[in-house]
Amino acid sequence: MLEFDFFNPVRLSFGAGRFDGLGEQAAEHGSHALLVTGRSSARKSGLLDRASKLMQDNGMKVTVFDRVEPNPTDASVDEGGELARAEGCDVVVAVGGGSTMDAAKGIAVAATHDGPVAEYLKPKDRLEPTDATLPLVCATTTSGTSSELTPFAVITVQAAKQKSAIRSDYAYPKVAIVDPELTLTCPPYVTGSTGIDVLCHSVEGYLSTSATPLTDHCAEKAMELVGEALPGAYADGSSLQHRYDLSLANVFAGYVLSNAGVTVLHALEHPISAHYPDVAHGAGLAVLMVGYAERLWEREPCKFARLAELLGRNVASLTEAEAAQQAAGAIKDLLAIVGLDIGLGELGVERDKLPTIADDTLEYMFGALGKTPGGLDRDELIELLEASF
Domain assignments of the chain as residue spans, ordered by start: 11-183, 188-387
pLDDT at 240: 97
Would you tell me how many other CB atoms lie within 10 Å of the CB of residue 134?
25
pLDDT at 44: 81
Please report how the helices 281-296 and 188-207 are oriented relative to each other, as an axis angle in degrees rounded to 10.
40
Q: Tell me the H-state helices in the chain.
A: 22-27, 41-45, 47-56, 74-87, 98-110, 188-207, 213-235, 240-260, 264-275, 281-296, 301-310, 320-324, 326-337, 354-364, 366-369, 378-387
The total number of residues shown for the chain amounts to 389
CA distance 249 to 27: 28
Would you tell me how many other CB atoms lie within 10 Å of the CB of residue 318?
16
pLDDT at 43: 84
> What are the 10-residue block averages of pLDDT along the chain, 389 residues in total?
92 98 98 94 88 98 96 97 98 97 98 95 94 98 96 96 96 98 96 98 98 98 98 97 98 98 98 96 97 98 98 97 98 98 96 98 97 97 97
Query: Pick from 191, 106, 95: which is nearest to 141 by CA?
Result: 95
β-strand pairing of 11-14 with 175-178: parallel
Q: In the chain, what is the greatest distance between 2 CA atoms, to the nearest angstrom?
A: 65
pLDDT at 331: 98
Would you tell me how many other CB atoms lie within 10 Å of the CB of residue 185?
14
β-strand pairing of 175-178 with 152-157: unpaired
pLDDT at 39: 86
For domain 11-183, give the fold.
Answer: Rossmann fold (3.40.50)
Please report how the helices 326-337 and 188-207 are oriented relative to each other, as an axis angle in degrees rounded to 10.
160
Amino acid at 305: A
Q: Is 277 exposed, middle or buried (0-12, 13-18, 19+ CB in 10 A)?
A: middle
CA distance 376 to 296: 10
What architecture is the 188-387 domain classified under in CATH? Up-down Bundle (1.20)
The torsion of the CA quartet 329, 332, 334, 335, rounded to 10 degrees, works out to 170
CA distance 300 to 357: 26
CA distance 255 to 210: 13
**SS3 label, residue 89:** coil
pLDDT at 367: 95
Please report how the helices 240-260 and 188-207 are oriented relative to each other, as an axis angle in degrees rounded to 10.
40
- What is the pTM for the complete model shown? 0.96
Query: Pick from 279, 66, 270, 92: which is nearest to 170 by CA?
Result: 92
pLDDT at 2: 83
Full 3-state SS string of 339-352: CCCCCHHHHCCCHH
